[in-house]
């Protein structure tokens, strides 16, 4: 038994391997009962490798059935084969071929890493360390090799045989078997290996690249679902065109395949030429998928496609560099969505998501830098910090360098590092070099955990016509990082004059200010503008130009002024949210809001709704107040989630009940009878209509519950139907149980729609929810091996039902902990992910805090947890 310390991997210990793998020949013999994998690795020592240096390959639950070097079987004393490693003591000090054979049981592979079976289909997931569950290998991303894959399988069970690269041969193999040979000309790390064998349907298309090459595209899926793949195909073609146009990047193989599978640990995987997807991120039909699903599919299809350059052509040297490919690729998919849809709406949605997931992570026991310097279980670092904060860091780089400067850096990155496995340092260097600038201090963003607090205080001096902004940044300690350095914070801003239009200044001093951006790179600065004729209202951190928590001395009047006049749509939205937040916070802390303050916000909301310049999607985002988790995060400590829930509901009523007539009129004015179209405009139309319905229900407007039931029954698409169901269930209206039952009957046969029912059920903030979930879990037909089902039910309960999860009697905590212990034996990644719902425990009020702590401690002392779950637990209790 190894200790935790032995398992900790440190960035500082990185060293290249003494041997290189030049090429890989894999032979899969797939049978219903098992799969035999014969591997030939062409291996070379490095120039400086000393004679007698053992060759150590990784394995995970493997058992070796044969081993040979250059065709000669090895004697027992020449190697040591264990489930998690294979050592050859004295390999030749020249190029040689190591041949091994292992037998796998894909059917029993419930962790869904390596080769497994999903609804009969054989498929793989290798990132980050799944390839070692397929064969002994140096399973690390800096080993780049070309792959040649031969697969043989029963023709009836697996008429479709796919792997990376190009199909070079196929044919009959006798005895009802057939074979295919795939070759990938691009050297790649093992985590990008993929294979699929199954009885699948497909839709096909082609894409002609800018240089005129024709690429064959296909999306494979369960028979009968082909008609649900067209949106994904459309998204793929738009992604391919966008990457050419925006970054000059063309696809590099003649084939691009996507396969949708039902059992998948996360969203999707960018395997070279053969992306494998969770089917919920492929299937779209208006009757069963919502606008959110359509947008998610478009985004993830783009994301995985963009990885072909940022991830595959240039990959990571080691897993500490994960955000090199993920942060950059998320940035790229965000830009794609912004260009395809509305930039402002996309930005607001992303920031809401960032605050909900990443700020929460960054402010709790699981906080870690975007580039961590140690880990025990790398699977636990596929986090909002690596992905979303990683994208924010790239976005700040683009903000600081400008679009042209950023593009120069990207071009140099591909020119210099194509075909390499590299680091964050190399990435920053090309931007520095291409722009003649030093990014040493900027790099701190990658190294330092925690969300910086930015405080701004303004002061106008009428006599001297000067205007001053006092800026301060501070980052609180996070686990392992007691002290923090000042970051480079780009603060986009504008000054708005009394008539609502932008104000000029004649001079500025105190910090670097260029165009409409202050670059704060010290703990504090005082920026003084001269020649300012009137007191302006400052619009700060436009477009959310840095991932910080900002507080200012602006009054409610200032904020409402911004909500009306700011020409940055992000800050217009933010200003309304800030006003709501201030009211919610003070009420939670015991100072009730004044009627005037609420009336002013109400009026601003009414104006927003009535505006004929703002678009529907923007209105939908604006007509609300911050979510409960958001309010809790701002309170920071001693949080009572029930109190937060009550205050928020009351505030929502106080703001929106007086507007009931306007809301209803606007709702009625938005038609619901058009045929479904997934474009941004129709999407915005539905979003606003459904927001209005939600507000009517949440503010108990007369007749609202019936209106929701009516919308549920007459809905012509899933977006409208689910919105009505969700609003009814969340408010637990009289009709809610009937609607839920109806939904289950109508759609229970479609697993992806069943997930929606599970999620709505699990989010109901009412006593009784735990019992209802227990009943669902206890049903013997409930598939405890399917990540989507488990996450929809228990992920949602632990992450999105704060009042019931954190019940003062501890019942919610115990329920989740029991679930984690049980599922950990089946799928550690799902268990560990659900467990992270506990990360809020340190900020709860004492009674709940103690309850959570004791449940976590009991779970830990129970022992026998997977490394995934044990790692989360240890950090959470540290």
By CB under 6 A, name the one of 57, 195, 196, 269 that touches ligand ARG.
269
Residue found under tokens 């069963």 = 288
Catalytic residue chosen out of the listed positions 304, 340, 392, 543: 304
Residues linked to residue 467 through DSSP beta bridges, in sequence order: 460, 529
Least separation in angstroms between CB 389 and ligand ARG:
14
Name the binder of 382 from Zn ion, ligand ARG, none, CB < 5-8 A by kind.
Answer: ligand ARG
* Residue 732 near residue 708 (C-beta atoms within 8 A): no
121: helix, strand or coil: strand
Least separation in angstroms between CB 247 and ligand ARG:
18
- Of the pair 331, 667, the CB lying nearest Zn ion is at 331
- Of the pair 186, 266, the CB lying nearest ligand ARG is at 266
Residues linked to residue 148 through DSSP beta bridges, in sequence order: 25, 183
- Of the pair 275, 733, the CB lying nearest Zn ion is at 275
The whole-angstrom distance between residue 97's C-alpha and the CA centroid of its chain comes to 40
- Pick the stretch among 12-20, 246-254, 324-332, 396-404 that binds Zn ion (CB under 5 A): 324-332
* Residue 32 near residue 153 (C-beta atoms within 8 A): no
* Residue 121 near residue 202 (C-beta atoms within 8 A): no
* Residue 525 near residue 566 (C-beta atoms within 8 A): no
* Residue 383 near residue 370 (C-beta atoms within 8 A): no
* Residue 311 near residue 319 (C-beta atoms within 8 A): no
Closest CA to 553 of 566, 538, 542: 538
Q: Which two tokens stand for residue 513?
A: 């200010």
Q: Report the C-alpha gap between 488 and 475 in whole angstroms.
A: 12
* Residue 757 near residue 736 (C-beta atoms within 8 A): no
- Pick the stretch among 267-275, 411-419, 691-699, 760-768 that binds ligand ARG (CB under 6 A): 267-275
- Pick the stretch among 321-329, 753-761, 807-815, 825-833 that binds Zn ion (CB under 5 A): 321-329
Residues linked to residue 870 through DSSP beta bridges, in sequence order: none
Report DSSP letters for 145-164, one per residue. Answer: EEEEEEEEEETTT-SEEEES
Least separation in angstroms between CB 212 and ligand ARG:
29
Least separation in angstroms between CB 228 and ligand ARG:
21
Binding mask 159-198 for Zn ion (x = CB under 5 A): ----------------------------------------
Query: Does residue number 304 form part of the binding site for ligand ARG (CB under 6 A)?
Result: yes
By CB under 6 A, name the one of 220, 251, 382, 757 that touches ligand ARG.
382
Query: Does residue number 298 form part of the binding site for ligand ARG (CB under 6 A)?
Result: no
Instruction: State the CB neighbour count (10 A cutoff) for residue 282.
Output: 27
C-alpha dist (Å) from residue 515 to 81, 242, 370, 399, 503? 63, 29, 29, 11, 13
Name the binder of 268 from Zn ion, ligand ARG, none, CB < 5-8 A by kind.
Answer: ligand ARG
Q: Which two tokens stand for residue 432?
A: 């520095």
Closest CA to 268 of 358, 419, 387: 387
Residues linked to residue 68 through DSSP beta bridges, in sequence order: 73, 99
- Pick the stretch among 268-276, 564-572, 800-808, 812-820 that binds ligand ARG (CB under 6 A): 268-276
Query: Does residue number 270 form part of the binding site for ligand ARG (CB under 6 A)?
Result: yes
Query: Does residue number 60 form part of the binding site for ligand ARG (CB under 6 A)?
Result: no
Query: Does residue number 281 form part of the binding site for ligand ARG (CB under 6 A)?
Result: no
Phi, psi of 234 (to 5 degrees): -60, -45
Name the binder of 128 from ligand ARG, Zn ion, none, CB < 5-8 A by kind.
Answer: ligand ARG
- Pick the stretch among 60-68, 263-271, 603-611, 668-676 that binds ligand ARG (CB under 6 A): 263-271
Q: What's the longest Cα–Cα distance across the chain?
A: 95
Least separation in angstroms between CB 387 and Zn ion:
7
By CB under 6 A, name the one of 127, 392, 616, 720 that touches ligand ARG.
127
What single-letter DSSP state applies at residue 450? Answer: S
- Of the pair 369, 580, the CB lying nearest ligand ARG is at 369
How many of the chain's residues bind ligand ARG (CB under 6 A)?
11
By CB under 6 A, name the one of 137, 266, 819, 841 that touches ligand ARG.
266
Report DSSP letters for 576-638, one per residue. Answer: HHHHHHHHHHHHHTT-PPPHHHHHHHHHHHHHHHH-SSS-HHHHHHHSS---HHHHHHHH-SS
- Of the pair 382, 561, the CB lying nearest ligand ARG is at 382
The whole-angstrom distance between residue 386's C-alpha and the CA centroid of its chain comes to 9
- Pick the stretch among 265-273, 416-424, 492-500, 808-816 that binds ligand ARG (CB under 6 A): 265-273
Report DSSP letters for 224-266, one per residue. Answer: T-GGG-HHHHHHHHHHHHHHHHHH-----SSEEEEEEES--SS
Q: Report the C-alpha gap between 289 and 277 in whole angstroms.
A: 16
Least separation in angstroms between CB 303 and ligand ARG:
6
Query: Does residue number 268 form part of the binding site for ligand ARG (CB under 6 A)?
Result: yes
- Of the pair 128, 678, the CB lying nearest ligand ARG is at 128
How many of the chain's residues bind Zn ion (CB under 5 A)?
2
Residue found under tokens 């729609």 = 753
Name the binder of 787 from ligand ARG, Zn ion, none, CB < 5-8 A by kind.
Answer: none
**Catalytic: 107?**
no
**β-strands 145-154, 19-30 pairing:** parallel
Least separation in angstroms between CB 281 and Zn ion:
12
Name the binder of 794 from ligand ARG, Zn ion, none, CB < 5-8 A by kind.
Answer: none
By CB under 6 A, name the one of 326, 578, 824, 871 that touches ligand ARG.
326
* Residue 593 near residue 651 (C-beta atoms within 8 A): yes
Query: Does residue number 271 form part of the binding site for ligand ARG (CB under 6 A)?
Result: no
End-to-end CA separation in angstroms for the chain:
22
* Residue 614 near residue 683 (C-beta atoms within 8 A): no
Radius of gyration of the chain (CA): 28
Binding mask 329-348 for Zn ion (x = CB under 5 A): x-------------------
Least separation in angstroms between CB 299 and ligand ARG:
11
- What is the number of the residue whose Cβ is closest to ligand ARG? 382
68: helix, strand or coil: strand
Least separation in angstroms between CB 545 and ligand ARG:
25
Least separation in angstroms between CB 95 and ligand ARG:
32
Least separation in angstroms between CB 671 and ligand ARG:
38
- Of the pair 273, 765, the CB lying nearest ligand ARG is at 273
Name the binder of 717 from ligand ARG, Zn ion, none, CB < 5-8 A by kind.
Answer: none
- Pick the stretch among 202-210, 327-335, 545-553, 648-656 that binds Zn ion (CB under 5 A): 327-335
Give the residue numbers annotated as catalytic, written as ranges: 304
Contact positions vs ligand ARG (CB under 6 A) = 127-128, 266, 268-270, 303-304, 326, 379, 382
């Amino acid at each position: 038994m190894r200790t935790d310390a032995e398992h900790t991997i440190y960035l500082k210990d990185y060293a290249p391997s003494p041997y290189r793998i030049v090429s890989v020949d894999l032979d899969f013999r797939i049978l219903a009962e098992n799969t035999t994998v014969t591997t030939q690795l062409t291996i070379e020592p490095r120039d400086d490798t000393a004679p007698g240096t053992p060759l150590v390959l990784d394995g995970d639950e493997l058992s070796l059935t044969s081993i040979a070097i250059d065709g000669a079987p090895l004697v027992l004393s020449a190697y040591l084969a264990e489930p998690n490693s294979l050592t050859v003591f004295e390999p030749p000090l020249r190029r040689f071929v190591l041949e091994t054979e292992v037998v796998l049981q894909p059917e029993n592979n419930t962790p869904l890493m390596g080769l497994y079976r999903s609804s009969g289909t054989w498929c793989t997931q290798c990132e980050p360390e799944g390839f070692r569950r397929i064969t002994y290998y140096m399973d690390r991303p800096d080993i780049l090799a070309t792959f040649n894959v031969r697969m043989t399988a029963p023709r009836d069970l697996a008429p479709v045989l796919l792997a990376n690269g190009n199909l070079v041969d196929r044919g009959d193999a006798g005895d009802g078997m057939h074979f295919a040979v795939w070759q990938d000309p691009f050297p790649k790390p093992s985590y990008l290996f993929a294979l699929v064998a199954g009885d699948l349907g497909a839709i096909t298309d082609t894409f002609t690249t800018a240089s005129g090459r024709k690429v064959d595209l296909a999306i494979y899926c369960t028979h009968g679902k082909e008609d649900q793949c067209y949106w994904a195909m459309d998204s793929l073609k738009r992604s391919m065109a966008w990457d050419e146009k925006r970054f000059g990047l063309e696809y590099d193989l003649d084939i691009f395949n996507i396969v949708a599978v039902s059992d998948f640990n996360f969203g999707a995987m960018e395997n070279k030429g053969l992306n494998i997807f969770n089917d919920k991120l492929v299937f779209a039909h208006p009757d069963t998928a919502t606008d959110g699903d359509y947008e998610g599919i478009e985004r993830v299809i783009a994301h995985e496609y963009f990885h072909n350059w940022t991830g595959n052509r240039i990959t990571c040297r080691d897993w500490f560099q994960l955000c090199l490919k993920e942060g950059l690729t998320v940035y790229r998919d965000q830009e794609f969505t912004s260009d395809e849809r509305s930039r402002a709406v996309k930005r607001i949605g992303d920031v809401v998501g960032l605050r909900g997931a990443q700020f929460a992570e960054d402010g709790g026991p699981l906080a870690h830098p975007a580039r961590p310097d140690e880990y025990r279980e790398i699977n636990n670092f596929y986090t909002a910090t690596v992905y979303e904060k990683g994208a924010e860091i790239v976005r700040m780089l683009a903000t600081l360098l400008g679009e042209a400067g950023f593009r120069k850096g990207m071009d140099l990155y591909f020119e210099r590092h194509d075909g390499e496995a590299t680091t964050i340092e190399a990435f920053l260097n090309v931007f520095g070099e291409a722009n003649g600038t030093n990014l040493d201090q900027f790099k701190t963003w990658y190294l330092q955990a925690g969300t910086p607090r930015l405080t701004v205080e303004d002061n106008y001096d009428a006599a001297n016509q000067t205007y001053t902004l006092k800026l301060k940044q501070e980052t609180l300690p996070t686990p392992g990082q007691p002290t923090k350095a000042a970051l480079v914070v780009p603060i986009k801003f504008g000054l708005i004059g009394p008539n609502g239009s932008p104000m000029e200044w004649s001079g500025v001093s105190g910090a670097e200010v260029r165009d409409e951006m202050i670059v704060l790179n010290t703990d504090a600065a005082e920026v003084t503008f001269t020649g300012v004729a009137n007191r302006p209202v400052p619009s700060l951190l436009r477009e959310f130009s840095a991932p910080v928590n900002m507080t200012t001395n602006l009054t409610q009047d200032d904020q409402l002024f911004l909500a009306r006049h700011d020409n940055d749509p992000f800050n217009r939205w933010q200003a309304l949210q800030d006003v709501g937040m201030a009211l919610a916070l003070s009420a939670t802390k015991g100072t009730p809001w004044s009627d005037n303050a609420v009336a002013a916000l109400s009026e601003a909301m009414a104006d927003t709704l009535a505006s004929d310049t703002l678009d529907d999607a923007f209105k939908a985002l604006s007509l609300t107040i911050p979510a409960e988790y958001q309010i809790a995060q701002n309170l920071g400590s001693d949080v009572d989630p029930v109190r937060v829930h009550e205050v928020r509901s009351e505030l929502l009523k106080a703001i929106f009940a007086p507007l009931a007539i306007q809301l209803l009129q606007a709702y009625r004015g938005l038609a619901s009878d058009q045929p479904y179209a997934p474009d941004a405009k129709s999407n915005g139309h539905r979003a606003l209509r459904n927001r209005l319905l939600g507000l009517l229900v949440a503010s108990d407007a007369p007749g609202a519950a019936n209106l929701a039931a009516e919308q549920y029954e007459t809905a012509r698409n899933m977006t409208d139907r689910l919105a009505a169901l969700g609003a009814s269930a969340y408010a637990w209206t009289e009709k809610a149980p009937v609607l839920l039952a109806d939904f289950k009957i109508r759609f229970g046969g479609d697993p992806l729609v069943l997930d929606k029912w599970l999620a709505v059920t699990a989010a109901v903030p009412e006593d009784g929810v735990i019992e209802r979930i227990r009943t669902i879990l206890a049903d013997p037909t409930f598939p405890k091996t399917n990540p989507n089902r488990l996450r929809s039910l228990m992920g949602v309960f632990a992450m999105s039902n704060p009042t019931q999860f954190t019940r003062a009697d501890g019942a919610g905590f115990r329920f989740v902990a029991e679930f984690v212990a049980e599922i950990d034996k089946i799928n550690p990644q799902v268990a560990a992910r659900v467990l992270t719902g506990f990360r809020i425990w340190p900020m709860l009020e004492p009674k709940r805090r103690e309850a959570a702590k004791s449940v976590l401690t009991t779970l830990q002392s129970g022992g026998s947890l997977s490394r995934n779950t044990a790692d989360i637990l240890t950090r959470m209790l540290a």
